Amino acid sequence: MPKLSSVGLNHKELIELYREALLKEGSYESVEKKVADKYTRMVVSQKVEERNDQQQTQALAHALPKAVRYGANFLPALLIFVGILLLGSAVMPVVGYYIKMIPQTQAQKMVVPIPSEKVLDVTPLVISQTASNSLGEDESISRLKKGPVIVDAQLDYTNLSNWFEDQLASDLVNRTSLLSKQSGEYILEIPDLNIHNAVVKIGGVDLEESLIQYPGTSLPGKPGSPVVFGHSLLRQFYNPKESNPRRYNSIFSTIMTLEKGDKIYLHYADVRYTYVVESKTEVKPTDTYILSQDYGVRQLKLVTCTPEGTYLRRGVVTAQLIRDD
């Protein structure tokens, strides 16, 4: 006897069928024979329908262009490959940065010339400690002991005031913007990175519009160091060309690839200042001592977020003034 599922009948339907057949035929054998014949016809009919469906499917598939048929077969694999490629394009620059850049930056640590607990009281800016002293020593130290302020909002890192994690750094941005009388702009060029005619604004916070010199740091060519901040993105989005309206979003993406001896030019007040790269280092977002000024040298500091496309740390390139024309 065939399986009930193969003929599409359940137990109740089969019992009813037998009951009706016995009432009409009167013989169990004749009923059994008719059921078997019915089953055979149903099986044959089902096979014919399945074969017809298969033939129709094949005919439809052959009617499609080969490109569509092969594309349907390879599309899932292609999508998986593209997904892996996109993931790799985001992850590999970070991995490559740590493999290549960390040994270089660790070999050239910046030294804080004053105790770390005092570094935010002894102002790194050219304002004779006016801003830092206004906080008071006890207040500054007590705020340092509280640790970093945890911000649960998404920060906009095209705004310079969000670049340092501690609240005191944001206070310095606000205070020095008010106290500093410096204003204006100048031009920065790094030929090795294809950066030309990049505008550096003295003061301000919008890194989408220009590079920004931290307010209160020395002017180009003067004793001390202009500290210039710029934004960075993943390297595949790096496009510093002047024709790119969003050039400043990625303009400092590759500054950590500069080598010792590479030249940086600043054009300020009709004078071109030539700086030569001396060192690179990497610091934590809380390390605001990178703003400190050593008036015994004439240097330039370029600062951006690292690894490129992230906000985990700050990369600092230090260059020495060698000539002014």
Q: List residues bridging with 298 in a β-sheet.
A: 224
Burial profile 168-195: b = 16 or more Cβ within 10 angstroms, e = fewer: bbbbbbebbbebbebeeebbbbbeebeb
- Domains of the chain (ranges; CATH) run 4-63 (no CATH), 116-324 (2.40.260.10)
Rounded Cα–Cα distance for residues 239 and 246 (Å) = 8
Higher pLDDT, 7 or 90: 90
pLDDT digits (tens, 9 = 90+) for 115-164: 434 333 333 343 333 333 333 444 444 444 444 333 333 445 555 656 65
Higher pLDDT, 33 or 255: 255
**Where are the alpha helices (H) located in 154-299, listed in sequence order?**
167-179
Question: How many other CB atoms are there within 10 angstroms of residue 252's CB atom?
Answer: 30
Q: Band of the pLDDT at 60, cuts 50, 70, 90?
A: confident
pLDDT at 244 over 80: yes
Query: Residue 262 pLDDT > 90, yes or no?
Result: yes
Q: Which helix (H) or strand (E) holds 79?
A: helix 66-106
State residue 110's pLDDT score. Answer: 38
Residue 44 tokens, joined: 């044959």
CA distance 232 to 252: 5
Residue 12 in this model has a pLDDT that exceeds 80: no
Q: Is the pLDDT of residue 97 over 70?
A: no
> What percent of the chain has a predicted confidence (pLDDT) above 90?
31
pLDDT for the residue 102 = 56
Question: Rounded distance, CA 313 to CA 165, Å?
Answer: 11
The predicted pLDDT at position 125 comes to 42
What's the pLDDT band for 46 if we cut at 50, 70, 90?
confident
pLDDT 10s digits, 181-232: 556 899 999 999 999 999 999 987 889 999 999 888 999 999 999 999 999 8
* Phi then psi dihedrals of residue 258, to 5 deg: -60, 145
CB-CB contact of 320 with 275 (8 Å): yes
**Is the bond preceding residue 307 a cis peptide, omega within 30 degrees?**
yes
Question: What's the mean per-residue pLDDT of the chain?
Answer: 74
Give the residue with greater pLDDT, 159 vs 307.
307
Higher pLDDT, 310 or 232: 232
Query: Taking a C-beta distance cutoff of 8 angstroms, is the pair 303, 316 a contact?
Result: yes
CA distance 189 to 287: 27
Q: Report d(CA 74, CA 67) in Å as an integer.
A: 10
Listed in sequence order, the DSSP H helices in 110-166 are 130-133, 137-145
**Percentage of the chain modeled with pLDDT above 70:** 64
State residue 93's pLDDT score.
67
pLDDT score for 163: 60
Total Cβ atoms within 10 A of residue 8: 9
Query: Could you give the CA distance from residue 59 to residue 48 in angstroms, rounded to a whole number?
Result: 16
* Across 1-5, 112-116, 203-207, 253-257, least confident range: 112-116
For 300-318, what is the mean pLDDT? 89
Question: What is 19-66 written as a DSSP string?
Answer: HHHHHHH--HHHHHHHHHHHHHHHHHHHHHHHHHHHHHHHHHHHHS-H
Secondary structure letter of residue 298 according to DSSP: B
> What is the pLDDT, as a whole number, of residue 269?
92
Residue owning tokens 């916070």: 205
At residue 101, the pLDDT reads 59
Question: Residue 169: which pLDDT band, with cuts at 50, 70 and 90?
Answer: low
Q: Residue 122: phi, psi to the nearest 5? A: -80, 100
pLDDT of residue 68: 72
pLDDT at 73: 76
